[in-house]
Structure 1
Amino acid sequence: MKKSEYKVHIVGAGISGLIAAQVLEKSGYHPVIIESEDSCGGRVKTDQIGGYAIDHGFQVLLTSYPAAKQYLDFNRLALQEFLPGATIFEDGKQKIIGDPLRDLSLLWPTITANIGSFSDKRKILKLNQILKKTTIHEIFEEREQTTVSFLEDFGFSNKIIHQFFKPFFTGIFLEENLQTSSRMFKFVYKMFGDGNAAIPKLGIGEITNQLVSALDHTSFIYNTRVEKVAEGTILTTEGKEIESHFTIIATEPSFVIPNLKNQQITWKSCDTLYFETKDRVIHKPLIGLIPHKETLINNICYPTVLQPNTISGKELLSVTVVRSHNLSETELIAKVTAELAEHCSIQVDRFIKRYDISHALPDITNLQYEMLPSETRLTPTIFIAGDQQLNGSLNAAMISGERAAMGVIDALENGIVIEELTSDSI
């Protein structure tokens, strides 16, 4: 049987599924991706609304991600980079803190900012240097503890933890108390130190578009939800059975594998709201943080400080809310608008769009960086992928998709015997 004749299906057209398809194609297979929505990308999408590129939630690409460097063409993405720092809204003022070793313009603002102590700032530089010398694999072999306990053990003061680390990493980990594994903190911190946070010129969805454009022999079945995956078959919610020699589940497997129902993953959620304003109060390419316990807003960003502004005289503002709430959309917009005025002196002209992202990040422990292709195998013909298998990052999504595809290839090319794989079944 020719490689292209094997029926290899991928459930889910997110980043993991797209990478899996690319790896399979390069080995001569012609996979089929089944996607419940009408387009690819999962959480990595961009809408075009009123001339603005609006991402499904505020997201950045860390250019030092090893898998991203392997699978993405950064030049084609036309990445727009943030400065290595943040602006903090406190006491009616903006205070900038950043890495002056990477951008000298941040030296004086960081020295004069009343954010933490001088000792804290020395410790930040020390942590940067330690992590530069530490490999990713060493990080993921270290003992796990919470991020906040690691910061305290390292000697950071409560002041800088609450003013900088908590609001900054709350926006990344999507949880307020920094209970996320110290492995993830060190990994992300190292990635920030080794590269840049960036957004493609036309939005984060360009990552998805580039991965899709690289596929020449992959078929897509859209608007089709999978109910169950079993050996040799895929059942859709409409009752259609699809014959499949091998299946990669690039979504949460507990939804489609009956005996995994008790292993369902808990997901972290967030809200991202977009507004239009007449001008911007952050004039450098920096993320804005609001380190106040009582506010809903965690961080803000002007994508138009990076992207071309297509609306003359107007600015696009994204606002991320991590804290849980029971507000209606109208109440949420009113509360966020009031907080923007109070803490940031921002007057919004109009509300554009809200993204209520219930499955933003997997809430997992015992975080890993790598996995063997064999570790993605659930049954002889069913494999699993997705960032939830490793550490909840774009990098992890790519690695897990690659490993699952390698697992299928290894099974097909190294002697696995499946009786139903005959030419008569094609």
Structure 2
Amino acid sequence: MLEPSHHADVIIVGAGVAGLSAALQLTGAGVSTLVVEAAPDVGGRMATEQIDGFRLDRIGQLLSTSYPELRRTPGLDTLELRPFSPGVLVHNEGRLQRSWEPRSSLRLGPRTGRSARGALTAARALASAPRVRSRRSCPPLGGALDQARLGAAFARLAATPLDRLLARPEQASLDALLSRGLPSRTVETFLRPLLSALLCDPSLTTSSRCADLALRGYARGRLSVPAGGAQTLPRLLASALPPGTIRTGVKAVDISTTSVRTAGHGELTCRGVVLATGARQAAELLPGLRMPDFHPLTVLHHTAPHSPLAEPALILDADGSGPIAHTAVLSEVDPSRAPAGRPLITSVVLGPPPPESEVRAQLARLYGTSTASWDLLAVHHDPEAVPTMPAPHDVRRPVRLLAGLYVCGDHRDTSTVQGALFSGRRAAHAVLHDFGLAPVAAEEATPVAA
């Protein structure tokens, strides 16, 4: 298949999770593939910085154990997901309250073992283990009737087939929530802060279909983070590729259907090119490609003399008492992210970096303790962290631009890790179709980008 003058059958520009997912599909089908990445390491925005024994993620996007691509993508069978406690803690009216907990989360369980059998064993162990309680008693959020209504709504959503969900009328997610008969207090004190965390969209202008996908994933799984930091996931993908497939430090400056011209490394020739960069870089290499707007994120990492919450819980701020949207003692969720005896508190702001005094004051309210002795480890800000998904939003934007030229990334599906992985799979399948080859596994008929 590979002609002598070609460097590879397919060149993939970008070694984020979308590009790596595409590369795994192509190499699995016997197509020689070269991945070029301008940065010195793989992963793109899923980067983890190491400081003083701490592992600090640069963006604070949450994963769900219900993401199908985490189970379907080659190389991720050994991925360990560290789940948060079922449900979330909501800071409402000046106190922490425990939200409704997905009943299906223990049944589905996270994939934490080295095989499907290991994952099932881990899920059973999690289901039978006693729940870790926080140091303070957290009353339930809302009354019994509110809890019952919310549980019924989530149960219906979890059982709704994807094709039916995606056929619903589309509008802004906040408008959709308010039109479905749920009490406004449930929307404002739970669903709005939850979706703000899942979609990184505090105004909830995101398409209601994308919001339904996010809530469906929440109802069917557990919020989680990769063990060892976000970069663990792309590094697992990279390690599953044949040696020599990835070349870092190679910046593409021009692409066509048969070549990639680089800065300082000459021209690389091929039979097809997959553009798997971020949305802005993709638009720069392909003028005319639509570039979305973005949700900015700021991630702040602190450490303290003692853990302010002895529970692996995600805390949402429904009071809007400060710039932080959600926070967690991440070392309680994943102990490998911090040295022994030094807790890691990670907080996410859906916007630019705020004054440290405002952050400390809000964290003191959320955790109910003084933050005067806390140390700030790092502040990571990304003005283009998450592509927006306003209505109308196509969760299956075309990945084949023309024969020999393809594009993938979270800006082509949903703005999640699931969406990025799935778009890489779709792009690879389009390449294989044009090459007259069959993919290793048939592509599903309906989008699974939750």
TM range (shorter): 0.7 to 0.9
Distance 1:391 1:201 in 2: 23
Displacement of 1:346? 4.5
Partner of 1:71: 73
Displacement of 1:72? 5.8
Distance 1:166 1:173 in 2: 10
1:383 partnered with 2:409: no
Partner of 1:355: 380
Q: Against the structure 1 CA distance between its residues 136 and 346, is the aligned structure 2 distance closer, same or farther, given a 3 Å change threshold?
A: farther
Partner of 1:134: 160
Displacement of 1:296? 0.6
Distance 1:318 1:30 in 2: 41
Distance 2:3 2:142 in 1: 60
Partner of 1:254: 283
Displacement of 1:217? 5.2
Distance 2:76 2:14 in 1: 24
TM-superposition CA deviations, 1:48-96 (whole Å, max 9, x none): 2222222222233211111111116666223221122111223442211
Q: Which of 44, 48, 54 is the equivalent residue of 2:56? A: 54
TM-superposition CA deviations, 1:305-336 (whole Å, max 9, x none): 122265343210001001456x5xxxx32321
Partner of 1:417: none
Name the SS of the counterpart of 1:76 in structure 2: coil
TM-superposition CA deviations, 1:220-279 (whole Å, max 9, x none): 22223322222323233558433232100012221201233xx22211111000000122
| Structure 2 letter corresponding to 1:67 | E
Distance 2:364 2:220 in 1: 35
Partner of 2:90: 88
Partner of 2:362: 339
Partner of 1:148: 174
Distance 2:141 2:362 in 1: 21
1:303 partnered with 2:336: no
Greater helix fraction, Structure 1 or Structure 2? 1
TM-superposition CA deviations, 1:93-135 (whole Å, max 9, x none): 22111327457989x99x9846344443222111122112211
Partner of 1:30: 32
Q: Which of 265, 273, 280 is the equivalent residue of 2:300? A: 273
Distance 1:353 1:248 in 2: 34
Displacement of 1:10? 0.5
Partner of 2:124: none
Q: How does 1:27-426 map to 2 (within 5 A)?
A: 27-71=29-73, 76-99=78-101, 101=103, 113=139, 115-216=141-242, 219-237=245-263, 240-251=266-277, 252=279, 253-260=282-289, 263-308=290-335, 310-324=338-352, 332-344=355-367, 345-347=369-371, 348-365=373-390, 366-370=392-396, 375-413=398-436
Distance 1:362 1:12 in 2: 17
| Structure 1 letter corresponding to 2:310 | H
Q: TM-score, normalised by structure 2?
A: 0.82
Distance 1:405 1:72 in 2: 13
| Structure 2 letter corresponding to 1:258 | P
Q: Against the structure 1 CA distance between its residues 362 and 236, is the aligned structure 2 distance closer, same or farther, given a 3 Å change threshold?
A: same
Q: Against the structure 1 CA distance between its residues 239 and 78, is the aligned structure 2 distance closer, same or farther, given a 3 Å change threshold?
A: closer
The gaps in structure 2 that reach 5 residues or longer are 107-126, 438-450
Displaced runs of 4+ in structure 1, greater than 6 A?
Answer: 103-106
* Count of matched residue positions in the alignment of Structure 1 and Structure 2: 402
Displacement of 1:168? 1.7
Q: Against the structure 1 CA distance between its residues 163 and 400, is the aligned structure 2 distance closer, same or farther, given a 3 Å change threshold?
A: same
**Do the aligned partners of 2:100 and 2:151 also contact (CA within 8 Å) in 1?**
no
Distance 1:34 1:130 in 2: 44
Name the SS of the counterpart of 1:259 in structure 2: coil
TM-superposition CA deviations, 1:171-199 (whole Å, max 9, x none): 22112121111111211111122222222
| Structure 2 letter corresponding to 1:364 | M
Distance 2:151 2:188 in 1: 18
Displacement of 1:288? 0.7
Of 49-58 and 2-11, the range deviating more from structure 2: 2-11
| Structure 2 letter corresponding to 1:199 | V
**Do the aligned partners of 1:278 and 1:314 also contact (CA within 8 Å) in 2?**
yes
**Do the aligned partners of 2:93 and 2:319 also contact (CA within 8 Å) in 1?**
no
| Structure 2 letter corresponding to 1:48 | Q
Q: Against the structure 1 CA distance between its residues 75 and 196, is the aligned structure 2 distance closer, same or farther, given a 3 Å change threshold?
A: farther
Q: TM-score, normalised by structure 1?
A: 0.86
Distance 1:346 1:298 in 2: 19
Name the SS of the counterpart of 1:398 in structure 2: helix
Displacement of 1:389? 0.8
Distance 2:293 2:142 in 1: 34
| Structure 1 letter corresponding to 2:167 | E
| Structure 2 letter corresponding to 1:82 | F
Aligned residues: percent identity?
22
| Structure 1 letter corresponding to 2:382 | I
Distance 1:209 1:231 in 2: 28
**Do the aligned partners of 1:85 and 1:99 also contact (CA within 8 Å) in 2?**
yes
Root-mean-square deviation (CA, aligned residues, Å) is 2.7
| Structure 1 letter corresponding to 2:335 | P
Distance 1:26 1:229 in 2: 24
Q: Against the structure 1 CA distance between its residues 73 and 264, is the aligned structure 2 distance closer, same or farther, given a 3 Å change threshold?
A: closer
Displacement of 1:40? 0.6
| Structure 1 letter corresponding to 2:13 | V
